[in-house]
Amino acid sequence: QVQFVESGGGLVQPGGSLGLSCEPPGGVILAMDIMGWYRQGPGNERELVATINRDGHTNYADSVKGRFTMSIERYKERVYLQMNNLKPEDTALYYCNSYGPRENSWGFGTRVTVFP
């Protein structure tokens, strides 16, 4: 496929957890790519949540630091985002893409809704 494919979203109560998964275009993550998770809440612009480089080093937005963990498994060509202690403000469509993103490869995202 041309687009990234995200999965794993759902409805969860505050304090709950979800794990997201990302399949890259063609099932292959380019070795030189820095991968990222993005999210876009209702009425908001898309924001970068987390990144991981080819050595496995991660960076997180302050809003999710300590709660979210990004990982990559290159042999499986998959990217993951483990989200713990979810808050209502985490409600958004979550997208996977490279950093900087491949503009023609945005997928549909996976929806995360945090609601009591």
The shares of helix, strand and coil residues in the chain, as percent rounded to the nearest 5, are: 10, 45, 45
Q: pLDDT (tens digit, 9 = 90+) per residue, 54-81?
A: 888 999 999 999 999 999 987 778 999 9
Q: How far apart are CA 71 and CA 24, in angstroms?
A: 14
Query: Is pLDDT of 33 > 90?
Result: no
Q: Which residue has the tokens 């612009």?
A: 45
Q: How far apart are CA 49 and CA 68, in angstroms?
A: 9
Question: DSSP class of residue 26?
Answer: G
Judging by DSSP bridges, how do beta strands 110-114 and 10-12 pair with one another?
Answer: parallel
Kindly indicate the confidence band of residue 104, based on its pLDDT and cuts at 50, 70 and 90: very high
% pLDDT > 70, the chain: 99
**So what's the pLDDT on residue 29?**
79
Query: Is pLDDT of 32 > 80?
Result: no
Contacts of 108 (CB under 8 A, 6+ apart): 3, 5, 6
Distances (CA, A) of 46 to 55, 92, 101: 26, 9, 12
What is the rounded average pLDDT for all residues in the chain? 94
Q: pLDDT (tens digit, 9 = 90+) per residue, 36-58?
A: 999 999 999 999 999 999 888 99
Query: In 3-state terms, what secondary structure has residue 111?
Result: strand
